[in-house]
């Protein structure tokens, strides 16, 4: 190779290795003793990934090339009134990686399928199923419309199933999320929402932004930019909205990212040989130089 070619290869490497955390929007909670929303699907290359799967592989990308990023919105909780399921969350995307939105919590119905499944409403019903290697199923109920609490179950999280319940008991808690250190600190993401009920002890959302269920009250919203599921409501109150997703990218500190129009995000200072970009909203392109 010529001297010019050696200099060019040193200054303009042909590839860049990018670690990622891609979390989809969480599902909304169901209404009228509704199930908790399932967490958004979680795919990650650092510390842990969703669904108990093996860590994902980092992507090998080309500098000065655009790669798509989409941050999935959380699903809406069911509107107050008649029993209705929460809406499922929206997918998040980075390049070839897609995480599936969390399933809505059931409202007089089974939980919806998603990255993690939504919890089942009061009755004898099934939690929504999960997407493999992204999350876990929602909780199942065998309460046969048990009076007076009429409890529902929690949505699944990236790290655990929503809590199953049987009979006239407290509503089920949301499944826990998982912790990753992609930012340099351990942070939990993608917890499921808790189930709603007419009575009993208020359910908890799973670690990682899951919203608590309501006891004769509205469900609590999942935390933004965690993919947490919304809590199911007790009675005819509103279900909690799911939390929006997030994309976090880790790469060599010799590189600088450009976050394009339509995206909201920022790049960290160099630390430990890496920079990190955290993208919290929108759809657009990123590239590196």
CA 11, chain centre distance (Å)? 38
**Digit-coded pLDDT (tens) for 62-98:** 999 999 999 999 999 999 988 999 999 999 999 999 9
The position carrying tokens 């419309």 is 145
Q: What is the mean pLDDT of residues 13-22?
A: 93
**Domain contains 265:** no
pLDDT at 7: 40
Query: pTM of the prediction?
Result: 0.95
The pLDDT tens digits for 127-153 are: 999 999 999 999 999 976 778 999 999
pLDDT at 194: 98
pLDDT in tens, 168-215: 899 999 999 999 999 999 999 999 999 999 999 999 999 999 999 999
- Taking Cα atoms as reference points, which of 97, 128, 124 lies closest to residue 114? 128
In a domain, 64, yes or no: yes
Q: What is the pLDDT of residue 152?
A: 97
Domain membership of residue 99 (yes or no) is: yes
> What's the whole-number average pLDDT of the chain?
95
Residue 2 has pLDDT above 50, yes or no: no
- Overall domain count for the chain: 1
Phi, psi of 17 (to 5 degrees): -95, 125
| Residue 28 forms part of a structural domain | yes
pLDDT at 5: 42
Residues 154, 172: Cα–Cα separation, whole Å: 5
What stretches of the chain show up as alpha helix (H) in DSSP? Answer: 3-11
pLDDT at 151: 96
Which residue range is the domain that position 154 belongs to? 24-255+278-289
Residue 166: its pLDDT value, please? 93
- In this structure, the strands spanning 59-61 and 67-70 are unpaired
- 267 domain-assigned: no
pLDDT of 254 > 70? The answer is yes
pLDDT at 6 over 80: no
The pLDDT value recorded for residue 12 is 53
Q: Give me the mean pLDDT over the 245-257 stretch.
A: 98
The answer as to whether 18 is a domain residue is no
Which residue, 149, 150, 241, 162, is CA-closest to 204?
A: 162
Predicted pLDDT at 159: 98
The pLDDT value given to residue 146: 77
Does the residue 228 lie in any domain?
A: yes
Q: Mention every residue, 6+ apart, whose C-beta is less than 8 A from residue 35.
A: 29, 85, 86, 105, 106, 107, 111, 118, 119, 120, 121, 127, 138, 139, 152, 153, 154, 155, 162, 195, 196, 232
Residue 15 lies in a domain: no
């Amino acid at each position: 190779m010529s001297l010019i070619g050696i200099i060019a290869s040193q200054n303009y490497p042909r590839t860049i290795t990018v670690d990622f955390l891609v979390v989809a929007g969480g599902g909304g909670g169901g209404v009228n003793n509704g199930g908790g929303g399932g967490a958004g699907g979680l795919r990650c290359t650092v510390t842990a990934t969703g669904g108990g799967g093996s860590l994902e592989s980092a992507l090998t990308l080309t500098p000065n090339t655009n790669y798509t990023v989409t941050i999935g919105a959380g699903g809406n909780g069911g509107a107050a009134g008649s029993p209705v399921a929460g809406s499922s969350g929206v997918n998040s995307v980075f390049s070839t990686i897609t995480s599936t939105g969390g399933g809505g919590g059931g409202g007089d119905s089974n939980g919806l399928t998603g990255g993690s499944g939504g919890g089942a409403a009061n009755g004898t019903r099934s939690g929504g199923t999960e997407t493999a290697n992204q999350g876990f199923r929602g909780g199942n109920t065998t309460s046969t419309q048990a009076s007076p609490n009429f409890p529902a179950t929690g949505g699944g999280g990236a790290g655990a199933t929503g809590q199953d319940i049987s009979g006239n008991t407290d509503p089920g808690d949301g499944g826990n999320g998982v912790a990753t250190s992609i930012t340099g600190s351990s942070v939990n993401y993608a917890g499921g929402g808790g189930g709603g009920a007419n009575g009993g002890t208020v359910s908890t959302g799973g670690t990682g932004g899951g919203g608590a269920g309501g006891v004769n009250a509205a469900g609590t919203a999942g935390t933004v930019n965690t993919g947490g599921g919304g809590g199911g409501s007790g009675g005819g109150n509103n279900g909690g909205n799911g939390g929006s997703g997030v994309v976090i990218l880790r790469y060599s500190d010799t590189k600088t990212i450009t976050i394009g129009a339509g995206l909201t995000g920022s790049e960290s200072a160099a630390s430990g040989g890496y920079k990190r970009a955290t993208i919290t909203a929108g759809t657009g392109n990123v590239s590196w130089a």
